[in-house]
Structure 1
Protein backbone atom coordinates (compact mmCIF):
# COMPACT_ATOMS: atom_id res chain seq x y z
CA UNK A 1 0.00 0.00 0.00
CA UNK A 2 1.07 3.58 -0.69
CA UNK A 3 1.24 6.53 1.64
CA UNK A 4 1.67 10.22 0.94
CA UNK A 5 4.57 10.82 3.29
CA UNK A 6 5.33 14.50 3.79
CA UNK A 7 3.39 16.22 6.60
CA UNK A 8 4.39 19.64 5.21
CA UNK A 9 2.93 19.21 1.72
CA UNK A 10 -0.62 18.11 0.98
CA UNK A 11 -0.53 17.22 -2.72
CA UNK A 12 -3.59 18.09 -4.78
CA UNK A 13 -5.03 16.87 -8.07
CA UNK A 14 -7.12 19.04 -10.39
CA UNK A 15 -8.88 17.41 -13.34
CA UNK A 16 -10.18 19.52 -16.22
CA UNK A 17 -12.61 18.19 -18.83
CA UNK A 18 -12.67 19.41 -22.41
CA UNK A 19 -10.88 19.66 -25.73
CA UNK A 20 -7.16 19.79 -25.04
CA UNK A 21 -6.43 22.92 -27.10
CA UNK A 22 -9.39 24.80 -25.67
CA UNK A 23 -8.46 23.94 -22.07
CA UNK A 24 -4.77 24.69 -22.56
CA UNK A 25 -5.78 28.12 -23.84
CA UNK A 26 -7.35 28.88 -20.45
CA UNK A 27 -4.35 27.83 -18.34
CA UNK A 28 -1.91 30.41 -16.94
CA UNK A 29 1.39 30.93 -18.75
CA UNK A 30 4.67 29.70 -17.29
CA UNK A 31 2.88 27.95 -14.43
CA UNK A 32 3.96 24.30 -14.50
CA UNK A 33 7.27 22.84 -13.35
CA UNK A 34 6.93 19.64 -15.38
CA UNK A 35 4.69 18.45 -18.20
CA UNK A 36 4.54 14.70 -18.71
CA UNK A 37 2.26 13.36 -21.39
CA UNK A 38 1.64 10.79 -24.08
CA UNK A 39 -0.62 12.14 -26.85
CA UNK A 40 -2.85 9.83 -28.89
CA UNK A 41 -1.06 8.25 -31.86
CA UNK A 42 -3.89 8.69 -34.41
CA UNK A 43 -4.23 4.93 -34.91
CA UNK A 44 -7.95 4.53 -34.30
CA UNK A 45 -8.14 3.92 -30.55
CA UNK A 46 -11.54 4.42 -28.92
CA UNK A 47 -10.73 7.97 -27.81
CA UNK A 48 -9.63 8.93 -31.35
CA UNK A 49 -12.61 7.73 -33.36
CA UNK A 50 -14.60 10.96 -33.21
CA UNK A 51 -11.98 12.73 -35.35
CA UNK A 52 -10.11 11.14 -38.23
CA UNK A 53 -6.98 13.00 -39.27
CA UNK A 54 -4.53 12.45 -42.08
CA UNK A 55 -0.96 12.08 -40.85
CA UNK A 56 -0.20 15.61 -42.01
CA UNK A 57 -3.23 16.98 -40.14
CA UNK A 58 -2.24 14.97 -37.09
CA UNK A 59 1.30 16.40 -37.01
CA UNK A 60 -0.13 19.90 -37.44
CA UNK A 61 -2.51 19.29 -34.52
CA UNK A 62 0.38 18.10 -32.33
CA UNK A 63 2.35 21.19 -33.29
CA UNK A 64 -0.42 23.43 -31.95
CA UNK A 65 -0.51 21.47 -28.70
CA UNK A 66 3.25 21.66 -28.29
CA UNK A 67 3.05 25.43 -28.69
CA UNK A 68 0.59 25.63 -25.80
CA UNK A 69 2.74 23.33 -23.65
CA UNK A 70 5.85 25.44 -24.20
CA UNK A 71 3.88 28.50 -23.09
CA UNK A 72 2.63 26.66 -19.99
CA UNK A 73 5.96 25.40 -18.63
CA UNK A 74 8.13 27.52 -16.32
CA UNK A 75 11.62 28.72 -17.29
CA UNK A 76 13.20 26.10 -15.02
CA UNK A 77 10.72 23.45 -16.17
CA UNK A 78 10.78 20.36 -18.36
CA UNK A 79 8.54 18.60 -20.85
CA UNK A 80 8.62 14.80 -21.13
CA UNK A 81 7.00 13.88 -24.45
CA UNK A 82 6.33 10.11 -24.41
CA UNK A 83 5.56 8.93 -27.90
CA UNK A 84 5.53 5.93 -30.22
CA UNK A 85 4.89 5.38 -33.91
CA UNK A 86 2.15 5.88 -36.47
CA UNK A 87 1.85 3.02 -38.96
CA UNK A 88 0.17 3.27 -42.36
CA UNK A 89 0.21 0.57 -45.04
CA UNK A 90 3.01 -1.20 -43.21
CA UNK A 91 5.23 1.92 -43.13
CA UNK A 92 6.44 3.22 -39.77
CA UNK A 93 6.39 6.94 -38.98
CA UNK A 94 8.32 7.70 -35.72
CA UNK A 95 6.30 10.49 -34.12
CA UNK A 96 9.18 11.77 -32.00
CA UNK A 97 11.10 12.63 -35.17
CA UNK A 98 8.11 14.36 -36.72
CA UNK A 99 7.51 16.48 -33.61
CA UNK A 100 11.10 17.29 -32.59
CA UNK A 101 11.17 20.46 -34.68
CA UNK A 102 7.98 21.72 -33.03
CA UNK A 103 9.89 21.91 -29.75
CA UNK A 104 13.22 23.06 -31.19
CA UNK A 105 11.91 26.06 -33.12
CA UNK A 106 10.20 27.26 -29.96
CA UNK A 107 13.52 27.33 -28.12
CA UNK A 108 13.22 24.06 -26.19
CA UNK A 109 16.44 22.10 -25.63
CA UNK A 110 16.55 18.32 -25.88
CA UNK A 111 18.47 16.84 -22.93
CA UNK A 112 17.82 13.14 -23.56
CA UNK A 113 16.01 10.91 -26.00
CA UNK A 114 15.06 8.16 -23.56
CA UNK A 115 14.17 4.65 -24.67
CA UNK A 116 11.40 2.86 -22.78
CA UNK A 117 11.67 -0.87 -23.41
CA UNK A 118 8.74 -3.16 -22.61
CA UNK A 119 8.06 -6.85 -22.91
CA UNK A 120 4.97 -6.89 -25.12
CA UNK A 121 4.51 -4.77 -28.21
CA UNK A 122 3.49 -4.61 -31.83
CA UNK A 123 3.51 -7.89 -33.72
CA UNK A 124 3.97 -8.17 -37.46
CA UNK A 125 4.74 -10.75 -40.12
CA UNK A 126 6.54 -8.28 -42.36
CA UNK A 127 8.75 -6.35 -39.93
CA UNK A 128 10.35 -6.86 -36.53
CA UNK A 129 8.12 -6.66 -33.47
CA UNK A 130 8.10 -3.24 -31.79
CA UNK A 131 9.28 -3.36 -28.18
CA UNK A 132 10.06 0.24 -27.26
CA UNK A 133 8.86 3.82 -27.35
CA UNK A 134 10.71 7.05 -26.64
CA UNK A 135 10.52 9.94 -24.22
CA UNK A 136 11.91 13.25 -25.41
CA UNK A 137 13.05 15.25 -22.38
CA UNK A 138 13.13 18.95 -23.20
CA UNK A 139 13.98 21.90 -20.96
CA UNK A 140 12.98 25.50 -21.52
CA UNK A 141 16.31 26.94 -20.40
CA UNK A 142 19.73 25.93 -19.12
CA UNK A 143 18.57 26.58 -15.55
CA UNK A 144 16.42 23.48 -15.08
CA UNK A 145 15.57 21.03 -12.31
CA UNK A 146 17.62 17.83 -12.34
CA UNK A 147 17.81 15.70 -9.20
CA UNK A 148 20.36 13.09 -10.14
CA UNK A 149 20.70 11.64 -6.63
CA UNK A 150 17.00 10.70 -6.62
CA UNK A 151 17.43 8.35 -9.56
CA UNK A 152 20.98 6.99 -9.23
CA UNK A 153 21.51 3.26 -9.67
CA UNK A 154 23.79 1.06 -7.55
CA UNK A 155 27.42 0.97 -8.67
CA UNK A 156 28.24 -2.15 -10.68
CA UNK A 157 31.85 -2.05 -9.43
CA UNK A 158 31.80 -0.07 -6.17
CA UNK A 159 35.38 -1.12 -5.39
CA UNK A 160 36.81 0.36 -8.61
CA UNK A 161 39.60 2.91 -8.03
CA UNK A 162 41.32 5.63 -10.03
CA UNK A 163 44.38 4.57 -12.03
CA UNK A 164 47.88 5.53 -10.91
CA UNK A 165 48.09 8.01 -13.80
CA UNK A 166 45.51 10.20 -12.00
CA UNK A 167 47.96 11.87 -9.63
CA UNK A 168 45.59 13.45 -7.12
CA UNK A 169 42.95 10.69 -7.21
CA UNK A 170 45.34 7.74 -7.59
CA UNK A 171 44.09 4.75 -5.63
CA UNK A 172 40.94 6.49 -4.47
CA UNK A 173 37.44 5.08 -5.20
CA UNK A 174 36.41 6.33 -8.63
CA UNK A 175 32.64 6.04 -8.28
CA UNK A 176 30.05 8.10 -6.47
CA UNK A 177 29.04 6.49 -3.14
CA UNK A 178 25.39 7.32 -3.87
CA UNK A 179 25.46 5.34 -7.12
CA UNK A 180 26.01 6.02 -10.79
CA UNK A 181 24.15 8.10 -13.34
CA UNK A 182 21.42 6.02 -15.04
CA UNK A 183 21.48 5.65 -18.81
CA UNK A 184 18.98 7.01 -21.32
CA UNK A 185 17.84 3.39 -21.77
CA UNK A 186 16.32 3.74 -18.32
CA UNK A 187 17.81 0.80 -16.54
CA UNK A 188 17.90 2.14 -13.02
CA UNK A 189 16.49 1.77 -9.57
CA UNK A 190 16.30 4.46 -6.91
CA UNK A 191 16.37 4.15 -3.12
CA UNK A 192 14.50 1.60 -0.97
CA UNK A 193 12.42 -0.82 -3.04
CA UNK A 194 14.08 0.34 -6.26
CA UNK A 195 17.40 -1.13 -5.10
CA UNK A 196 16.04 -4.66 -5.29
CA UNK A 197 16.85 -4.82 -9.00
CA UNK A 198 19.32 -2.57 -10.86
CA UNK A 199 17.49 -3.03 -14.18
CA UNK A 200 14.23 -1.28 -14.96
CA UNK A 201 12.70 -3.25 -17.78
CA UNK A 202 9.26 -1.68 -17.35
CA UNK A 203 6.32 -3.78 -18.55
CA UNK A 204 3.53 -1.96 -20.31
CA UNK A 205 0.07 -2.10 -18.77
CA UNK A 206 -1.63 -5.23 -20.07
CA UNK A 207 -4.39 -7.52 -18.77
CA UNK A 208 -2.58 -8.86 -15.67
CA UNK A 209 -0.90 -5.59 -14.67
CA UNK A 210 -2.09 -4.42 -11.22
CA UNK A 211 -2.73 -0.90 -12.56
CA UNK A 212 -4.92 -1.98 -15.51
CA UNK A 213 -8.12 0.02 -16.14
CA UNK A 214 -10.41 0.29 -19.17
CA UNK A 215 -8.00 2.66 -20.91
CA UNK A 216 -6.50 0.88 -23.98
CA UNK A 217 -3.13 2.68 -23.91
CA UNK A 218 -2.39 3.26 -20.25
CA UNK A 219 1.24 3.79 -19.31
CA UNK A 220 2.67 2.58 -15.98
CA UNK A 221 3.06 4.75 -12.89
CA UNK A 222 6.78 3.99 -12.59
CA UNK A 223 7.43 5.48 -16.03
CA UNK A 224 6.13 8.85 -14.84
CA UNK A 225 7.54 8.38 -11.35
CA UNK A 226 11.14 8.65 -12.48
CA UNK A 227 10.38 11.83 -14.45
CA UNK A 228 8.80 13.34 -11.34
CA UNK A 229 11.73 12.36 -9.11
CA UNK A 230 14.41 13.57 -11.52
CA UNK A 231 12.89 16.78 -12.88
CA UNK A 232 10.83 18.28 -10.03
CA UNK A 233 11.04 19.15 -6.35
CA UNK A 234 8.43 18.48 -3.65
CA UNK A 235 5.63 21.02 -3.89
CA UNK A 236 6.05 21.48 -7.66
CA UNK A 237 3.13 21.14 -10.08
CA UNK A 238 2.96 18.53 -12.86
CA UNK A 239 0.64 18.89 -15.86
CA UNK A 240 -0.63 16.12 -18.15
CA UNK A 241 -2.81 17.39 -21.02
CA UNK A 242 -3.76 13.83 -22.00
CA UNK A 243 -4.44 12.53 -18.52
CA UNK A 244 -6.41 9.36 -19.30
CA UNK A 245 -7.01 7.51 -16.03
CA UNK A 246 -4.72 9.68 -13.91
CA UNK A 247 -1.35 7.93 -14.02
CA UNK A 248 0.61 11.19 -14.02
CA UNK A 249 -1.42 12.56 -11.12
CA UNK A 250 -0.76 9.42 -9.08
CA UNK A 251 2.99 9.49 -9.72
CA UNK A 252 3.12 13.18 -8.81
CA UNK A 253 1.07 12.83 -5.61
CA UNK A 254 3.05 9.79 -4.46
CA UNK A 255 6.06 12.11 -4.21
CA UNK A 256 4.33 15.21 -2.84
CA UNK A 257 3.88 17.11 -6.07
CA UNK A 258 0.62 18.72 -7.19
CA UNK A 259 -1.07 17.49 -10.38
CA UNK A 260 -3.26 18.98 -13.09
CA UNK A 261 -4.78 16.75 -15.75
CA UNK A 262 -6.88 17.32 -18.87
CA UNK A 263 -9.11 14.81 -20.63
CA UNK A 264 -12.22 14.98 -22.79
CA UNK A 265 -13.68 11.66 -21.62
CA UNK A 266 -15.92 11.64 -18.54
CA UNK A 267 -15.36 7.93 -17.96
CA UNK A 268 -11.58 8.36 -17.75
CA UNK A 269 -11.87 11.36 -15.42
CA UNK A 270 -14.15 9.36 -13.16
CA UNK A 271 -11.56 6.55 -12.98
CA UNK A 272 -8.77 9.08 -12.35
CA UNK A 273 -10.67 10.55 -9.41
CA UNK A 274 -11.29 7.09 -7.97
CA UNK A 275 -7.63 6.10 -8.30
CA UNK A 276 -6.48 9.31 -6.58
CA UNK A 277 -8.89 8.61 -3.73
CA UNK A 278 -7.51 5.07 -3.47
CA UNK A 279 -4.01 6.54 -3.32
CA UNK A 280 -5.04 8.81 -0.45
CA UNK A 281 -6.70 5.88 1.31
CA UNK A 282 -3.63 3.69 0.88
CA UNK A 283 -5.52 1.09 -1.16
CA UNK A 284 -4.32 1.83 -4.70
CA UNK A 285 -2.59 -1.09 -6.39
CA UNK A 286 0.52 -0.21 -8.36
CA UNK A 287 3.51 -2.13 -9.60
CA UNK A 288 6.47 -1.24 -7.38
CA UNK A 289 9.22 0.58 -9.23
CA UNK A 290 12.19 -1.67 -9.85
CA UNK A 291 10.26 -4.90 -9.41
CA UNK A 292 11.70 -7.64 -11.59
CA UNK A 293 9.57 -8.58 -14.58
CA UNK A 294 7.95 -12.02 -14.45
CA UNK A 295 9.95 -14.88 -15.92
CA UNK A 296 7.97 -18.15 -16.35
CA UNK A 297 9.48 -21.33 -14.96
CA UNK A 298 10.02 -24.29 -17.26
CA UNK A 299 7.67 -26.26 -15.04
CA UNK A 300 4.84 -23.97 -16.21
CA UNK A 301 2.90 -25.45 -19.09
CA UNK A 302 2.85 -22.18 -21.03
CA UNK A 303 6.67 -22.04 -20.97
CA UNK A 304 7.17 -25.46 -22.57
CA UNK A 305 7.37 -26.14 -26.29
CA UNK A 306 4.07 -27.74 -27.36
CA UNK A 307 4.24 -31.27 -28.77
CA UNK A 308 2.58 -30.08 -31.99
CA UNK A 309 5.61 -27.92 -32.74
CA UNK A 310 8.10 -30.71 -32.11
CA UNK A 311 6.67 -32.85 -34.89
CA UNK A 312 6.63 -30.13 -37.57
CA UNK A 313 9.22 -30.38 -40.37
CA UNK A 314 11.59 -27.40 -40.44
CA UNK A 315 10.23 -26.25 -43.80
CA UNK A 316 6.83 -25.67 -42.17
CA UNK A 317 8.15 -23.49 -39.34
Structure 2
Protein backbone atom coordinates (compact mmCIF):
# COMPACT_ATOMS: atom_id res chain seq x y z
CA UNK A 1 0.00 0.00 0.00
CA UNK A 2 1.38 3.42 -0.94
CA UNK A 3 1.97 6.21 1.60
CA UNK A 4 -0.81 8.26 0.00
CA UNK A 5 -3.31 5.45 0.53
CA UNK A 6 -2.19 4.95 4.13
CA UNK A 7 -2.84 8.63 4.82
CA UNK A 8 -6.41 8.25 3.56
CA UNK A 9 -7.33 5.45 5.97
CA UNK A 10 -10.34 6.35 8.13
CA UNK A 11 -10.80 4.33 11.28
CA UNK A 12 -14.30 3.32 12.33
CA UNK A 13 -15.79 4.92 15.44
CA UNK A 14 -16.09 1.52 17.06
CA UNK A 15 -14.45 -0.41 19.85
CA UNK A 16 -15.52 -3.68 21.47
CA UNK A 17 -15.34 -2.14 24.94
CA UNK A 18 -16.53 1.40 24.27
CA UNK A 19 -19.93 2.95 23.59
CA UNK A 20 -19.41 6.63 22.85
CA UNK A 21 -21.87 8.96 21.18
CA UNK A 22 -22.37 12.58 20.17
CA UNK A 23 -25.71 13.32 21.80
CA UNK A 24 -27.51 14.77 24.80
CA UNK A 25 -26.52 12.97 27.98
CA UNK A 26 -30.08 12.33 29.18
CA UNK A 27 -30.97 10.70 25.86
CA UNK A 28 -27.82 8.59 26.01
CA UNK A 29 -28.22 7.58 29.65
CA UNK A 30 -31.90 6.66 29.36
CA UNK A 31 -31.00 3.86 26.95
CA UNK A 32 -28.80 2.17 29.55
CA UNK A 33 -30.13 -0.44 32.01
CA UNK A 34 -30.69 0.22 35.71
CA UNK A 35 -27.63 -0.31 37.95
CA UNK A 36 -25.40 -1.11 34.96
CA UNK A 37 -22.53 1.26 35.80
CA UNK A 38 -19.91 0.57 38.45
CA UNK A 39 -18.37 4.05 38.28
CA UNK A 40 -19.82 7.31 36.99
CA UNK A 41 -17.04 9.88 36.82
CA UNK A 42 -17.37 13.26 35.18
CA UNK A 43 -16.68 16.96 35.26
CA UNK A 44 -19.78 18.90 34.20
CA UNK A 45 -19.65 22.48 32.87
CA UNK A 46 -19.35 25.14 35.58
CA UNK A 47 -21.82 27.57 33.95
CA UNK A 48 -19.12 30.19 33.36
CA UNK A 49 -19.46 30.59 29.59
CA UNK A 50 -16.76 28.25 28.27
CA UNK A 51 -16.91 27.48 24.52
CA UNK A 52 -18.56 24.10 25.18
CA UNK A 53 -21.44 25.46 27.31
CA UNK A 54 -24.21 28.03 27.21
CA UNK A 55 -24.32 30.20 30.31
CA UNK A 56 -27.72 30.09 32.05
CA UNK A 57 -29.26 31.15 35.34
CA UNK A 58 -28.14 29.27 38.41
CA UNK A 59 -31.65 27.84 38.79
CA UNK A 60 -31.58 26.42 35.25
CA UNK A 61 -28.08 25.07 35.81
CA UNK A 62 -29.18 23.25 38.97
CA UNK A 63 -32.26 21.92 37.18
CA UNK A 64 -30.07 20.42 34.44
CA UNK A 65 -27.62 18.98 36.94
CA UNK A 66 -30.46 17.52 38.98
CA UNK A 67 -31.81 15.67 35.94
CA UNK A 68 -28.39 14.27 35.04
CA UNK A 69 -27.66 13.24 38.63
CA UNK A 70 -31.03 11.47 38.89
CA UNK A 71 -30.17 9.38 35.82
CA UNK A 72 -26.70 8.71 37.20
CA UNK A 73 -28.18 7.37 40.44
CA UNK A 74 -30.53 5.10 38.48
CA UNK A 75 -27.60 3.70 36.51
CA UNK A 76 -25.29 3.23 39.48
CA UNK A 77 -24.70 -0.33 40.65
CA UNK A 78 -25.42 -1.15 44.30
CA UNK A 79 -21.70 -1.31 45.08
CA UNK A 80 -20.74 1.49 42.67
CA UNK A 81 -19.43 5.03 43.02
CA UNK A 82 -20.16 8.47 41.61
CA UNK A 83 -17.29 10.97 41.30
CA UNK A 84 -18.43 14.48 40.39
CA UNK A 85 -15.44 16.77 39.79
CA UNK A 86 -16.20 20.50 39.94
CA UNK A 87 -14.68 23.90 40.58
CA UNK A 88 -16.34 27.27 41.11
CA UNK A 89 -19.05 29.16 39.32
CA UNK A 90 -17.89 32.79 39.10
CA UNK A 91 -20.24 35.77 38.84
CA UNK A 92 -19.20 39.43 39.17
CA UNK A 93 -16.06 38.52 41.07
CA UNK A 94 -17.89 36.25 43.52
CA UNK A 95 -17.24 32.53 43.59
CA UNK A 96 -19.89 29.88 44.23
CA UNK A 97 -18.34 26.47 45.10
CA UNK A 98 -20.22 23.98 42.98
CA UNK A 99 -19.45 20.99 45.20
CA UNK A 100 -21.30 22.70 48.06
CA UNK A 101 -24.18 23.71 45.79
CA UNK A 102 -24.52 20.25 44.20
CA UNK A 103 -24.03 18.12 47.32
CA UNK A 104 -27.71 18.36 48.42
CA UNK A 105 -28.80 16.96 45.05
CA UNK A 106 -26.87 13.77 45.77
CA UNK A 107 -28.08 13.60 49.37
CA UNK A 108 -31.67 13.86 48.13
CA UNK A 109 -31.08 10.47 46.48
CA UNK A 110 -29.62 8.98 49.65
CA UNK A 111 -26.05 8.84 48.40
CA UNK A 112 -23.29 8.82 51.00
CA UNK A 113 -20.22 11.04 50.72
CA UNK A 114 -17.02 9.03 51.22
CA UNK A 115 -14.45 11.71 50.41
CA UNK A 116 -14.27 15.28 49.27
CA UNK A 117 -11.05 14.96 47.30
CA UNK A 118 -9.06 18.13 46.70
CA UNK A 119 -7.29 18.17 43.32
CA UNK A 120 -4.52 20.75 43.40
CA UNK A 121 -2.44 21.94 40.45
CA UNK A 122 0.25 24.54 39.91
CA UNK A 123 -0.98 26.48 36.90
CA UNK A 124 -4.04 28.53 35.97
CA UNK A 125 -5.35 32.04 35.51
CA UNK A 126 -3.88 34.70 37.79
CA UNK A 127 -6.45 36.70 39.76
CA UNK A 128 -6.04 40.38 40.62
CA UNK A 129 -8.54 40.88 43.45
CA UNK A 130 -8.53 37.47 45.13
CA UNK A 131 -6.08 34.59 45.54
CA UNK A 132 -5.51 32.63 42.34
CA UNK A 133 -7.52 29.41 42.26
CA UNK A 134 -5.32 26.33 42.23
CA UNK A 135 -7.66 23.54 43.28
CA UNK A 136 -10.93 21.85 42.42
CA UNK A 137 -12.84 19.11 44.21
CA UNK A 138 -14.17 15.63 43.54
CA UNK A 139 -17.24 14.48 45.43
CA UNK A 140 -16.94 10.70 45.80
CA UNK A 141 -20.30 9.21 46.77
CA UNK A 142 -21.65 5.69 47.03
CA UNK A 143 -25.08 4.12 46.93
CA UNK A 144 -24.50 1.79 49.87
CA UNK A 145 -21.97 0.77 52.53
CA UNK A 146 -21.02 -2.20 50.35
CA UNK A 147 -18.84 -0.37 47.84
CA UNK A 148 -15.70 -1.31 45.91
CA UNK A 149 -12.46 0.21 47.17
CA UNK A 150 -9.12 -1.17 46.01
CA UNK A 151 -6.28 0.66 47.73
CA UNK A 152 -3.27 -1.38 46.62
CA UNK A 153 -3.37 -0.44 42.90
CA UNK A 154 -3.21 3.28 43.70
CA UNK A 155 -0.69 3.43 46.52
CA UNK A 156 2.03 6.06 46.18
CA UNK A 157 5.64 5.83 47.41
CA UNK A 158 6.04 6.13 51.16
CA UNK A 159 8.00 9.13 52.43
CA UNK A 160 10.06 6.85 54.70
CA UNK A 161 9.94 3.42 53.00
CA UNK A 162 12.62 1.91 55.23
CA UNK A 163 11.15 3.04 58.54
CA UNK A 164 10.98 0.21 61.09
CA UNK A 165 9.18 -0.46 64.36
CA UNK A 166 11.47 0.57 67.20
CA UNK A 167 9.72 -1.41 69.94
CA UNK A 168 7.06 -3.99 70.57
CA UNK A 169 6.59 -7.45 69.03
CA UNK A 170 7.39 -6.14 65.52
CA UNK A 171 10.59 -4.36 66.53
CA UNK A 172 13.02 -4.19 63.63
CA UNK A 173 10.41 -4.98 61.00
CA UNK A 174 9.25 -2.51 58.37
CA UNK A 175 6.44 -0.33 59.70
CA UNK A 176 5.19 0.88 56.33
CA UNK A 177 3.38 -1.04 53.62
CA UNK A 178 5.95 -2.20 51.02
CA UNK A 179 3.49 -1.32 48.26
CA UNK A 180 3.39 2.32 49.37
CA UNK A 181 0.98 4.54 51.24
CA UNK A 182 -2.58 5.76 50.81
CA UNK A 183 -2.53 8.82 48.49
CA UNK A 184 -4.81 10.72 50.92
CA UNK A 185 -7.62 13.06 49.87
CA UNK A 186 -5.34 15.79 48.44
CA UNK A 187 -4.03 15.00 44.95
CA UNK A 188 -1.31 17.08 43.34
CA UNK A 189 -1.70 16.29 39.64
CA UNK A 190 -0.81 18.79 36.87
CA UNK A 191 -3.77 20.11 34.92
CA UNK A 192 -3.69 19.83 31.14
CA UNK A 193 -2.16 23.03 29.80
CA UNK A 194 -0.40 23.84 26.52
CA UNK A 195 2.81 21.89 27.20
CA UNK A 196 1.10 18.81 28.68
CA UNK A 197 1.64 15.60 26.67
CA UNK A 198 -2.13 14.95 26.65
CA UNK A 199 -3.20 18.40 25.38
CA UNK A 200 -5.94 18.51 22.74
CA UNK A 201 -8.25 21.29 21.54
CA UNK A 202 -10.43 21.00 24.65
CA UNK A 203 -9.84 23.97 27.03
CA UNK A 204 -10.49 22.05 30.27
CA UNK A 205 -9.80 18.36 29.73
CA UNK A 206 -9.33 15.76 32.46
CA UNK A 207 -5.75 14.55 33.02
CA UNK A 208 -5.98 10.81 32.42
CA UNK A 209 -4.00 10.04 35.58
CA UNK A 210 -6.66 11.68 37.73
CA UNK A 211 -9.35 9.37 36.38
CA UNK A 212 -7.07 6.32 36.38
CA UNK A 213 -6.75 6.57 40.15
CA UNK A 214 -10.54 6.55 40.51
CA UNK A 215 -11.00 3.73 37.99
CA UNK A 216 -8.43 1.48 39.69
CA UNK A 217 -9.67 2.20 43.20
CA UNK A 218 -13.41 2.05 42.62
CA UNK A 219 -13.88 -0.63 39.96
CA UNK A 220 -12.63 -4.09 39.01
CA UNK A 221 -11.56 -5.41 35.62
CA UNK A 222 -14.45 -6.01 33.24
CA UNK A 223 -16.74 -3.48 34.96
CA UNK A 224 -18.28 -0.39 33.39
CA UNK A 225 -17.40 3.31 33.62
CA UNK A 226 -19.64 6.15 32.41
CA UNK A 227 -18.86 9.81 31.75
CA UNK A 228 -21.97 11.79 30.75
CA UNK A 229 -19.86 14.88 29.92
CA UNK A 230 -17.14 13.00 28.06
CA UNK A 231 -15.32 15.86 26.34
CA UNK A 232 -12.29 14.44 24.52
CA UNK A 233 -12.52 11.06 26.21
CA UNK A 234 -10.03 11.06 29.08
CA UNK A 235 -12.40 9.02 31.25
CA UNK A 236 -12.89 6.49 28.46
CA UNK A 237 -9.13 6.22 27.98
CA UNK A 238 -8.60 5.64 31.71
CA UNK A 239 -11.25 2.90 31.70
CA UNK A 240 -10.06 1.12 28.55
CA UNK A 241 -6.43 1.33 29.59
CA UNK A 242 -7.25 -0.83 32.61
CA UNK A 243 -9.61 -3.34 30.96
CA UNK A 244 -12.88 -1.71 31.91
CA UNK A 245 -15.80 -0.90 29.60
CA UNK A 246 -16.20 2.76 28.66
CA UNK A 247 -19.45 4.65 28.10
CA UNK A 248 -19.82 8.35 27.40
CA UNK A 249 -21.34 11.15 25.39
CA UNK A 250 -20.87 14.80 24.57
CA UNK A 251 -22.80 17.35 22.51
CA UNK A 252 -19.68 18.59 20.72
CA UNK A 253 -18.91 16.45 17.66
CA UNK A 254 -15.33 17.72 17.44
CA UNK A 255 -14.65 16.48 20.96
CA UNK A 256 -16.17 13.08 20.24
CA UNK A 257 -14.04 12.80 17.09
CA UNK A 258 -10.95 13.54 19.19
CA UNK A 259 -12.07 10.97 21.77
CA UNK A 260 -12.28 8.28 19.11
CA UNK A 261 -8.91 9.28 17.69
CA UNK A 262 -7.35 8.95 21.15
CA UNK A 263 -9.00 5.54 21.69
CA UNK A 264 -7.54 4.30 18.42
CA UNK A 265 -4.13 5.65 19.44
CA UNK A 266 -4.46 3.84 22.78
CA UNK A 267 -5.21 0.57 21.00
CA UNK A 268 -2.27 1.15 18.63
CA UNK A 269 0.08 1.89 21.51
CA UNK A 270 0.84 5.43 20.30
CA UNK A 271 -1.20 7.54 22.73
CA UNK A 272 0.99 9.78 24.87
CA UNK A 273 -0.12 9.99 28.50
CA UNK A 274 1.39 11.26 31.72
CA UNK A 275 2.04 8.36 34.13
CA UNK A 276 -0.52 8.26 36.93
CA UNK A 277 1.87 8.65 39.87
CA UNK A 278 4.66 10.60 38.19
CA UNK A 279 5.99 13.20 40.68
CA UNK A 280 5.24 16.83 39.90
CA UNK A 281 8.30 18.51 38.40
CA UNK A 282 10.25 20.59 40.88
CA UNK A 283 12.79 22.89 39.18
CA UNK A 284 14.62 23.39 42.48
CA UNK A 285 14.99 19.70 43.28
CA UNK A 286 18.53 18.33 43.28
TM normalised by structure 2 equals: 0.89
Alignment of 1:43-192 (within 5 A): 43-49=48-54, 52-162=55-165, 164=167, 168-169=169-170, 172-186=173-187
C-alpha displacement of 1:206 = 1.1
Larger radius of gyration: 1
Residue pair 2:119, 2:189 contacting (<8 A) in 1 also: yes
- Please give the alpha-carbon distance, in whole angstroms, between the structure 2 residues aligned to 1:47 and 1:273: 18
Runs of 5+ in structure 1 lacking a partner?
1-9, 187-200, 298-317
C-alpha displacement of 1:163 = 5.8
Residue pair 1:121, 1:132 contacting (<8 A) in 2 also: no
Of stretches 169-178 and 76-85 in structure 1, the one that deviates more from structure 2 is 169-178
- 2:206 counterpart (199, 219, 224): 219
Aligned partner of 2:237 in structure 1 is 250
Q: Closer, same or farther in 2 for the Cα pair 1:279/1:290, shift >3 Å?
A: same
Runs of 5+ in structure 2 lacking a partner?
1-14
- Please give the alpha-carbon distance, in whole angstroms, between the structure 1 residues aligned to 2:16 and 2:154: 21
C-alpha displacement of 1:295 = 4.5
- Please give the alpha-carbon distance, in whole angstroms, between the structure 2 residues aligned to 1:74 and 1:27: 12
Show CA shifts across 1:190-213 (max 9, x none): xxxxxxxxxxx3111111111111
- The SS at the match of 1:128 is coil
Residue pair 1:239, 1:260 contacting (<8 A) in 2 also: yes
Residue pair 1:118, 1:132 contacting (<8 A) in 2 also: yes
How many pairs does the alignment contain? 270
C-alpha displacement of 1:23 = 2.1
TM normalised by structure 1 equals: 0.81
Q: Closer, same or farther in 2 for the Cα pair 1:82/1:21, shift >3 Å?
A: same
- 1:234 counterpart (221, 228, 239): 221
- 1:265 counterpart (248, 252, 274): 252
C-alpha displacement of 1:279 = 0.5
- The SS at the match of 1:133 is strand
Matched, 1:26 2:31: yes
